[in-house]
């Protein structure tokens, strides 16, 4: 009976559900009509943060007591929470596909978009892969400075004399319009939405896209956890912080927290 139940569960994740009042996104990607809570990891890398970031973010002091209570309910094993991850770097694809299979076999509603960037559009994009595999430089931004290993300190340091376009391998990746994705999430009316984002390159353009769009999609997010890389892109990030604070005042439910 258990094997039959597991086969039926896995089959449901492969077969789009027909939802009259639920989310077509969840139906299409997870085979379910509703997710009580949704967690999105933008830049999931090898996958460790997909399930882990909400466990850390719930402890942040800036989160309101009401948000913390809802978030903790979402993290209970019995919760109908759904997890979405995005990773553009194709080097992580095999590992992430195995992770998704494992999570689904354990009845976790998870969808990882591999070889896919969370972006400002859905037309595909060039992506520059850091072939040295230290994980610091792969980016959507061709003009982004690269990293090099310092013989003096033994650490990876920013090399402003070399760009991703000249130093890294160029590949083509799929893209998802971030504003459209979050709007589709909101249409399913989840009780809680959490999003994690590293602001270190292409993500600054994405955040600007979400802030300046006409749909106010960030108002559908409860907690936005951002890892600011001010040292890497001080001007670009500086230009984002003020409008983000303004949007927080406009969206009563939105809380922005520092991620790591």
Q: What is the pLDDT of residues 26-35, one digit of tens each?
A: 999 999 999 9
Report how far residue 135's alpha carbon sits from residue 54's, in angstroms, rounded to the nearest whole number: 22
Q: Which helix (H) or strand (E) holds 239?
A: helix 234-250
Report how far residue 1's alpha carbon sits from residue 141's, in angstroms, rounded to the nearest whole number: 51
Mean pLDDT of 181-196: 93
Domain that holds residue 85: 2-258
Q: Answer yes or no: are the C-beta atoms of 179 and 212 closer than 8 Å.
A: no
238 band by pLDDT with thresholds 50, 70 and 90: low
- 211: tokens are 């802030």
pLDDT at residue 129 is higher than 90: no
Intra-chain end-to-end CA distance of the chain, in Å:
44
Report how far residue 30's alpha carbon sits from residue 20's, in angstroms, rounded to the nearest whole number: 16
- Widest pairwise Cα distance in the chain: 62
> How many folded domains does the chain comprise?
1
- Residue 1: the pLDDT is 46
Q: Give the residue among 184, 201, 39 at the shortest CA–CA distance from 117.
A: 201
Query: 3-class SS at 118?
Result: strand
pLDDT at residue 193 is higher than 80: yes
231 band by pLDDT with thresholds 50, 70 and 90: very low
Length of the chain: 260
- Residue 260: the pLDDT is 72
Q: How many CB atoms lie within 10 A of CB 5?
A: 10
pTM reported for the whole predicted model: 0.83
Q: Give the residue among 111, 120, 117 at the shortest CA–CA distance from 28.
A: 111
């Amino acid at each position: 009976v258990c094997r039959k139940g597991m086969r039926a569960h896995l089959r449901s994740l492969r077969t789009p559900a027909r939802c009259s009042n639920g989310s077509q996104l969840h139906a299409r990607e997870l085979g379910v009509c509703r997710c009580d809570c949704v967690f999105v990891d933008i830049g999931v890398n090898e996958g460790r943060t997909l399930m882990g970031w909400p466990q850390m973010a719930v402890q942040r002091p800036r989160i309101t007591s009401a948000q913390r209570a809802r978030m903790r309910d979402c993290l209970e094993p019995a919760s109908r929470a759904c997890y979405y991850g995005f990773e553009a770097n194709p080097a992580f694809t095999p590992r992430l596909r195995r992770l998704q299979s494992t999570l689904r076999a354990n009845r976790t509603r998870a969808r990882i978009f591999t070889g896919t960037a969370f972006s400002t559009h859905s037309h595909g994009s060039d992506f520059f892969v850091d072939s040295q595999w230290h994980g610091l430089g792969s980016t959507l931004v061709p003009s982004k400075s690269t990293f090099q290993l310092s013989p003096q300190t033994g650490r990876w340091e920013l090399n402003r004399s070399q760009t991703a376009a000249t130093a890294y391998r160029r590949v083509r990746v799929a893209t998802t319009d971030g504003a459209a994705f979050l709007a589709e999430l909101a249409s399913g009316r989840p009780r809680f939405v959490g999003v994690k984002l590293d602001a270190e390159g292409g993500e600054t353009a994405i955040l600007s896209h979400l802030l300046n769009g006409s749909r106010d999609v960030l108002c559908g997010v409860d907690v936005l956890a951002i890892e600011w890389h001010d040292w890497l892109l001080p001007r670009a990030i500086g230009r984002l912080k003020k409008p983000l604070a303004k949007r927080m005042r406009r969206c009563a439910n939105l809380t922005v927290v520092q991620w790591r």
